């Protein structure tokens, strides 16, 4: 990383946004498998 590192506030926002986006991605993954489970009931 270069010398102009992000400020503490920027780091906090970067970390928070990244976690939210990752949770959204995992949520979509789980939701689609759950939809498959519901659809595949005999």
User: Applying CB under 8 A, which residues contact other proteins?
Assistant: 1-6, 10, 13-14, 17-18, 21-22, 24-33, 36-37, 39-42
The answer to whether the CB of 18 falls within 8 A of the CB of 10 is no
Q: State the minimum distance, in angstroms, from the CB of residue 16 to other proteins.
A: 9
Residue 14 sits at the vertex; the CA angle it makes with 25 and 16, to the nearest 5 degrees, is: 60
Q: State the minimum distance, in angstroms, from the CB of residue 19 to other proteins.
A: 9
Q: State the minimum distance, in angstroms, from the CB of residue 31 to other proteins.
A: 8
């Amino acid at each position: 990383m270069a010398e102009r590192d992000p400020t503490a506030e920027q780091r906090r926002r970067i970390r928070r946004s990244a976690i939210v986006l990752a949770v959204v991605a995992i949520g979509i993954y789980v939701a689609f498998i759950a939809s498959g489970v519901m659809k595949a009931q005999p």
